[in-house]
Every structure is written in structure tokens, then in C-alpha cells.
Structure 1
Amino acid sequence: MFSIEKKSKQPTKGETCSKWESIGISQDYLVNIDDYKVSVLIRYTAWQNGERDVNCLDFAGDKRLNKLPGRLRFCIEPHGLSHDMVTLKTAIIKSEPPAHANLYKRDIAFYHEIMGVDLVSELISYGDCKIDTKEVLLNTTGRNRTELCMVFPTGNEILPIAAFVLTRIYPILLSDQPRFWLHILDTENGKNKLCRHAA
């Protein structure tokens, strides 16, 4: 579906997911999606305060991605002593201009039925991981218990990069397909309103 190429590594300074100013080390990856003639530069950052995240820096190709750089980043959270966790919210583009994407809660069936992607198999191909709801994997009992998440070994940078591509980039690229477009309209008409999350 896509290739991931390791690029430069450099010190960085910026704002973490929790809105703290920090310094850190960033590793850049170039993702090529040949079917769509798209290249995306994605950055994995390990901040000095212990936080980590994945963010889109730049892209070449499809203009629908022009609102992605600097938005919708992954926040990586520790899970136990040897694993990390990311929440797998899905970027869904708006039908009305300006055409930027917001994040929504979607399940594994959405990726199979609407996107035609085997999310679990694709992610497992990049390393050992578990994908399920927070209720199943984290024993969460609150309102976020049905959110999809991925648990994976600490130190694997490729898995969150791949997950970012599949949940943030692919849904935007697929947004012109009829079944996906109908899903977008259903969402905006309120049928999926309870699943909406702010970007």
C-alpha cells in the first residue's frame, strides 16, 4: 500500500501534546503512496519531558492533504513498563469548504467496509501490536471505552508512522469514493454525530 523510508534525525524545539514547550529529538520518515502519487514527510519526536508524538510536516501530491501538516498528530502514551499506546481516531474530510479533516471515532469494521482496508493485518505487518477498543486492551470503563487504540512495544517508531498513514492520510485520499462520500454525508447529517471528536 505504501513504503516508509527513514530520513534525517535532528534536535527540535516545539510544543508537546500536553501543550508544554520542550526540546527533543526528531526522526523524519518519507512515506510514498504510489497508487495516489503522494509523498508525505512524517516526523516522530521524542521530547525531553518524556512525551512522544507523530506529526505530518509536509506533502507532495494530492491537494486534499494541504490542511494536514501540523494538525491531527498522534500522541503516544506509555502503557506499562515496556509498551506504548496510541488512540486510532480517523480523519474524515468535510464536504463543505474549507475542506479540512476532523477526527472521528470509528471501529475496525469501518476500515473493512468503507475503506476496504484490513487495518489489523496492515499494522501487524509492521511489528508486534494489538488493535482493539480501549475497553478490551486497557480495561477502560469511561466514555472513551469504545475508542479504537493500538498497543505496541516501546521503541518501535514504524508502527505509529504506519498507523498515522492508515488513519489520518488514507481516509482523506479515499474521500472521493462513493461509499466513503455517503459515509461523510451521513456523519454531517447527524447519523454519526455521537462519534465526532474535535481535531
Structure 2
Amino acid sequence: MREEKDSPSGSLGNSLTIERGGEPENVEGETCSGVRSTGAQTTWNVNVAGRGTFPVWSRSWHTGERDIVLGRGEVVPSVPAALSALFGKRRAGLERHMVHKKTYMTVCLVLPDDQNWPRRRKCTLEELERVCGADVVGSVYDHGVLDIATKGELLGETGRNRTELCGILDPASESAPVALYVATRVVPTLRKVGWL
């Protein structure tokens, strides 16, 4: 059975679930574009079967920007260095295409390097499924990700970013950006350290 697109919880593959936490809280910080702002932060709990639960923060800034990032909870269980280095790093911004009026997120892989630092890397759809798992990538559609393809295909871009992947998000789905963020930016590290 497929999850409803606006579902506040659901699975991501076989070993992960995401669930919306409480009500949004006020937050102050720096947006993806480097501007200081205030906004609202909603916490989503990502449960890794047998390993623990970690917060993912979905932030809506008063500048109009939105982003998603893996947070560091008040109580942090013992985690591998590569996962610890990912806390608070490699945010994903949500963007709205001005011509096509679509909400989208750039899709890339985030993997630890030799010093366990999270590095962002462009990828193809085939590589995305190989690194993250076809079950995980397939499950993002249950959360309201409408399509994943290149920016050239989905947004008509013709510049240097035309071959980058992006995910078109159902604007009515709260979980779509969180699911896509976790699948592409957290799952590769979890698989690398043997937690998935």
C-alpha cells in the first residue's frame, strides 16, 4: 500500500522510517544563501532500525528560503565518525523554478571521504539507485517526490547545471523534501558505515 503524499510518517526502504515531530519552533540562523534570518523549524525523526533515532530539521526562513539538514539531537548516541561529521552539514535547499512554477531540490550524493568529511558529488540516476538502494530511492515517490531526472529534462535548463539531477516535489507534501534529503544525503553514509 502506498503512503498518502501528505503523510506525516512512513518508511524509506526496509530499515528507515521518518516521522514528523511536534509543532514548528522558532529558529534563528543562516540561510543557504548566507543571510542571517529567523524562521520556523519542524523536526522530523529518522529512525534507523536497531541503531537509533536522529532529527532532521526542515526550516522555512523569513527570507522565503527553505532548507533541510540532519540535526544533532540533545542526546546523541555513539555513532561512527563519518555520521557524526554529517550533523549540521550538507544542507539541501528547496527552490521554486520561476518559469515552470515547480518546487524542486537538487539531487546529489553525500559520501564521507578518507577523513570522514561529508563530500557532495553529482550522480546519474543509475548511480543514485546503486549507492542509496533502489528500495530507498523508489520509496521517496510514496512521500510526494513526483519525478527525478536532470534539470535539463525537468526544468528546461540549458546551462552548465543541465545534467544535474533534481527532484520535483509535490508542494502539498510535508514529507517529500525530508524523504529526498534523507535518501540522498544521509543514506549513503549509513550504508558506508554498515548501518543499512
C-alpha distance in 2 between matches for 1:128 and 1:57: 22
Q: Runs (4+) of structure 1 moved beyond 6 Å?
A: none
- Normalised to the residue count of structure 1, the TM-score between the two structures is 0.80
Task: Report matched runs for 1:1-199 at 5 Å.
Answer: 1=13, 2-8=16-22, 9-34=24-49, 37-58=51-72, 60=77, 62-63=79-80, 64-80=82-98, 83-95=102-114, 97=115, 99-118=116-135, 120-176=137-193
C-alpha distance in 1 between matches for 2:192 and 2:137: 21
C-alpha distance in 1 between matches for 2:161 and 2:145: 24
| Percent of aligned positions that are identical | 29
Summarize the Cα distance change of 1:120–1:34 in structure 2 as closer, same or farther, 3 Å threshold.
Answer: closer
Summarize the Cα distance change of 1:119–1:31 in structure 2 as closer, same or farther, 3 Å threshold.
Answer: closer
RMSD of the alignment, in Å? Answer: 2.0
Which runs of 5 or more residues in structure 2 are unaligned? Answer: 1-12
C-alpha distance in 1 between matches for 2:78 and 2:127: 26
C-alpha distance in 2 between matches for 1:69 and 1:155: 27
Q: 1:38 offset after TM fit, Å?
A: 3.7
Q: 1:120 offset after TM fit, Å?
A: 4.7
Equivalent pair of 2:58/2:67 in contact (CA under 8 Å): yes
Q: 1:4 offset after TM fit, Å?
A: 1.2
Q: 1:142 offset after TM fit, Å?
A: 1.1
More helix by proportion, 1 or 2?
Answer: 1
Which runs of 5 or more residues in structure 1 are unaligned? Answer: 178-199
Q: 1:146 offset after TM fit, Å?
A: 0.9
User: Number of aligned pairs?
Assistant: 174
